[in-house]
Amino acid sequence: MIRAVLATLAGSALAVTLLQPTSPAAGDEPLPYQDPTQPTDVRVADLLGRMTLAEKIGQMTQAERVDIDADPSLITENRLGSVLSGGGSVPADNTPEGWADMVDRYQEAALATPLGIPLLYGVDSVHGHSNLLGATVFPHNIGLGATRDPALVEEIAHITAMETRATGPQWAFAPCVCVARDDRWGRTYESFGETPRLVISMETAIDGLQGKPGQLDRPDRVLASAKHFAGDGLTAWDTGEGDYTVDQGISQVSREEFEKLALSPYVPAVKEHHVGSIMPSFSSVDWTEDGLGNPVKMHASEELITGWLKGEQEFEGFVISDWRAIRQIPGTYAEKVEASVNAGVDMFMEPIQAPNNPTGWDEFIPTLTQLVEDGDVSMARIDDAVSRILTAKFELGLFENPMTDRTHLGKVGSKAHHQVARRAAAQSQVLLRNKQGTLPLKAKQDVYVAGSNADNIGNQAGGWTLTWQGGSTNVIPGTTILDGIEKAANGDVVFSEKATKQVPRKSVGVVVVGETPYAEGFGDVGGPQWAYDPGDNGVPRPEQTMELSDADTKAVEKVCARTVSCTVLVVSGRPMVIPPALLRQTDALVASWLPGSEGAGVADVLYGRRPFTGKLPVTWPRTVDQEPINVGDADYDPLYPYGFGLRTR
């Protein structure tokens, strides 16, 4: 369709002479782009021909809500085409109604432009509409990969789309179709698993978000965004220059390996699931023989974005840059913009958010304008980008219904949605050890519960929950694992986080250990901290290690030594190292991942209300030194192999 739009323009006077922006007077026939009976390509071509360069570049520009909230007229004045909420960027009234009112306020500013082009609002609905307090929060992707249930993943994505669109945003920056190959990467939990086959099977998430072709304009669907194109899960831990980091690093692999592990998930995403947008990765790729040549940032890779994605795969959606990602491209700012636009990036996420970032979209707009005027970026490239963006807006039905359709507002965080989250939490649990049939537990037994993650819903929800990095003090509606145990057990339940209370005679022990929340950058194991600290009240976040804390280790030792049986649950975004001595003390071991808002789902499998059916989506190492370790490696010797999972019942 994009080719048809551009061909229409090329064959008409619109290609050389821009029409003046006009709107029909009262009683006049609608212009072609305003007529919903016209084919989308006709509407796009008509609207594109009426746009000035400023209006076109405005459509290619995305600001953050913080940049324009105090003065939405900035949307009107700059003809901005899109706004986003980054992690933790929420309205003062963080309720479903507050979100809908906020987005509509911005939409009114967009509709006040001469051509009345509606705004596209994006948000990180990566495990539910999790910026919103009250939204249903589902397990992160690594847990969903453990379910091996594509239908469940589609259902979850559909609920996410419904809750997202009912509150205003029409676009989700999800799903992540990365293949995580090194668990030291802080974004491992955003991956469905370590094999392309597993990741591809879970791309039903795209269908859940977007629906079938032609359903994007429905009030329960949103535009999806497959990310991060491509190779973010393949980045090297040590580049050879002492750069010990994984996030935003360099993929030092052969072309053959890159195609297999990085590119292959995007083929069905485009051709079978018809994903509407794709987000490039912060990472770079280096295909030189020694891996120390000239890494190319993905946001500047014309070969992969224009050549492979838009050319070979015939991707007709649009490409959206990641958060200020073009600023990592070498050169002056003008050179960065030129490289990324000509590489094939269509829309640019350029937040300002002063004082940390003195410039953003306000610098991007004049820079791209000058590049076009100087001939460094062609009008054909601009028209291609804008055609793709406008096509998405027409297909979303925004020209006919730009304001928030609140049909499903009352379903946000509903009991029915939480029941799906509970089922997903249960299916995501992976039973790794079950000595002498320890699990399921008997309901009439007394239970002693300990561990840092037993009664902490912020920890079990993980990153990208209310705030970008998540937080142990972030509280959302739902149940903790302790809540679930207390409801499932008919015997007495004693809780002591650090196992300091006396253990009753003949009680069974459940110790819930694991990680505290983190997201990109700060989740990298042993890597350097970023230049700034997002910790609450200036308190630095603990360095990630993939090893249990001293407090959790002591809790396991105490409880396992004093109870009839000892079950250890690991709540984390990736596997954690279980020392041999600790494992010997443990009767049952469960990988609980990040189960989201419904800890009761974890209790369901502990007590046999649901069977354990989950399988490892990634390899579980014996030590951190084994990383990266993946199925198919030579000398593969994990603690538990990829795909492992005991069953009950």
Q: What is the pLDDT of residues 286-339, one digit of tens each?
A: 876 655 567 899 999 999 999 999 999 999 999 999 999 999 999 999 999 999
Quote the pLDDT of residue 482. Answer: 98
Superfamily of domain 55-410: Glycoside hydrolase, family 3, N-terminal domain (3.20.20.300)
Give the 3-state secondary structure of 451-462: CCCCCCHHHHHC
Helix, strand, or coil (residue 568):
strand
Is the CB of residue 313 less than 8 Å from the CB of residue 247? Answer: no
Helix, strand, or coil (residue 265):
coil
**Which residues form the catalytic set?**
322, 520
For the stretch 180-233, pLDDT in tens is: 999 999 999 999 999 999 999 999 999 999 999 999 999 999 999 999 999 999
Quote the pLDDT of residue 14. Answer: 38
Helix, strand, or coil (residue 592):
coil
For the stretch 109-119, pLDDT in tens is: 999 999 999 99
Quote the pLDDT of residue 356. Answer: 80
Residues 6+ apart with CB under 8 A from 472: 456, 458, 459, 516, 517
Q: In the sheet that 296-297 helps form, which strands lie side by side, from edge to edge?
A: 250-251, 284-285, 296-297
- Percent with pLDDT over 90 in the chain: 86
Which residues of the chain does CATH 3.40.50.1700 include? Answer: 414-527+543-626
Q: Is the pLDDT assigned to residue 12 strictly greater than 80?
A: no
> What is the full DSSP assignment across 282-309?
S-EE--STTS-S--EEGGG-HIIIIIII
Q: Is the pLDDT assigned to residue 43 strictly greater than 70?
A: yes
> What is the full DSSP assignment across 185-211?
STTGGGSS-SSHHHHHHTTHHHHHHH-
Quote the pLDDT of residue 25. Answer: 53
Average pLDDT for residues 587-608, to the nearest whole number?
A: 98
Quote the pLDDT of residue 142. Answer: 98
User: What class has domain 414-527+543-626?
Assistant: alpha beta
Is the CB of residue 510 less than 8 Å from the CB of residue 485? Answer: yes
Pairing of strands 588-591, 430-434: antiparallel
Which residues of the chain does CATH 3.20.20.300 include? Answer: 55-410
Whether pTM > 0.85 for this model: the answer is yes
For the stretch 392-415, pLDDT in tens is: 999 999 999 999 999 999 999 999
CB-CB neighbours of 13 under 10 Å: 10
pLDDT bin (cut points 50, 70, 90) of residue 239 is low
Task: Point out the least confidently predicted range of 3-17, 201-215, 296-310, 500-514.
Answer: 3-17
